[in-house]
Amino acid sequence: MALGKYAVDYEERINYERLRRERLQRAKDQIQAGGLGALVTWDEANIRYLTSYYVTTPMRPSETQCVFIPRNGEPILFGGGTPREVERRMPWMQGRVQPTISAFKFNAADVDDISILVFVNTIARLMAEHGVEKEPLAIDGSTCGLLLDRAFRRSGIQTVHGKPFMDRARMLKTADEVELMRITCANAESAFAAIAAAIRPGIRECDLVGIGIKALYQEGADHTEDLVCCSGFNTNPYGWSFSDKPVRPGDLIYIDVDGNSYQGYKSCVYRTFCCGKATTKQKELYAECHDMLYRAIAVVRDGVTDYDILAQWPDSPEYWGYDSWEEVMPYVCGHGIGLGLHDAPMISPLRKAYGLPPVTLKSGMVIALETYAGHKGGRDGVRLEENLLVTQDGCEVLSRWPVAELMECPIA
């Protein structure tokens, strides 16, 4: 990040008007390219992408907030709290915030339930008003998708799966999105600094998670998931949780500052530490994991495929002592990252094992690559991860917490 992260009057940093305009245009381009008449989404990241509205954590499972966007019109937000107040705070949505009409997750048992009928009739009316009622409607992000599909088809509206269209819109980041992701990674560094300073014998994994989350909110995070924090024997085999286990001298501790969200944009960065002095074997294991990760990073650039990345990693699950890729699915992998923690594209040996076609990386994608080293039956495991901006001739590593050597946190 070249500049500060807060808005000022003496230089342009994040241009929010441009951010909203360019995100919306990319979504419209995908709607047009897909031959859709309209799209409706309950996915909180897609709601933000289309309107900049922030769906709070407790509201996400309820699906009472959604966005409708016709191919030839502007997005309409349903369920934005008090609509007039939302419009006052978000003037770019003036006249396009309405009360919720999608409370059917709580009420609907079949296509004849009144809550389903109210929703379907409202969307059908909006499609008719825009002249797209004979064109497909894409449905994205609802657990009631099967009911909605049946109800819309009964009303004469063809429906299609909407997620791929929004995935494609969000895969290539705008300049402002990239800058927001640089800021998010910088915030993650503050969390790692606070955690590294706190590592000592007796502190619990859950304490370190709390310290990291506090640091993130102090940096202006608008949301964060629980961090991954595993220590000692909890590092092998690989797991992705935390407990009340106390850290002891000589323990390795790997931590993922994941789901850390700054203005919607996420980080997913693993680092491994040692409580006190590390052994030679621990350092060798760390080097093994680091080498795996940076061999993959070295090939990342515009035009390469996930298969090119997979070629840099062990070609058999037996490397970790297991029989199938399903057993070690998360051990070496990659994923897109942005408004979602795990976005397209996905990079996994399992995709290749299933015979799925390769995915080509493009300049402007932001991806996370993750590697793990730990021998079956061993005491220790090492996890590392970097966030990368794919460029024409390589990549920019957005995550900057030191990674070249195992960081030893002094006990005394």
Q: What is the pLDDT along the chain (412 residues), one digit of tens a residue?
A: 667 888 888 998 999 999 999 999 999 999 999 999 999 999 999 999 999 999 998 889 889 999 999 999 999 999 978 999 999 999 999 999 999 988 777 776 677 788 888 999 999 999 999 999 999 999 999 988 888 999 999 999 999 999 999 999 999 999 999 999 999 999 999 999 999 999 999 999 999 999 999 999 999 999 998 999 999 999 999 999 999 999 999 999 999 999 899 999 999 999 999 999 999 999 999 999 999 999 999 999 999 999 999 999 999 999 999 999 999 999 999 999 999 999 999 999 999 999 999 999 999 999 999 999 999 999 999 999 999 999 999 999 999 999 999 999 999 7
Cβ–Cβ < 8 Å for 395, 364: no
Strands 252-262 and 343-347: unpaired
Q: How far apart are CA 160 and CA 116, in angstroms?
A: 18
Which H, E and C letters describe 242-282, residue by residue? CCCCECCCCCEEEEEEEEEEECCEEEEEEEEEEECCCCHHH
Structure tokens at 393: 């001739």
Q: Residue 229's CB: how many other CB atoms inside 10 A?
A: 26
Cα 170 to chain centroid distance, Å, stands at 11
Q: How far apart are CA 110 and CA 107, in angstroms?
A: 9
Q: Which residue has the tokens 């090492």?
A: 382
Closest CA to 182 of 272, 300, 266: 266
Domain locations along the chain: 16-170, 172-409
Q: How far apart are CA 332 and CA 24, in angstroms?
A: 34
Cβ–Cβ < 8 Å for 380, 285: yes
Cβ–Cβ < 8 Å for 408, 274: yes
CATH level 2 (architecture), domain 172-409 = Alpha-Beta Complex (3.90)
Cβ–Cβ < 8 Å for 152, 120: yes
Q: Indicate whether this model's pTM tops 0.85.
A: yes
The CATH code for residues 16-170 is 3.40.350.10
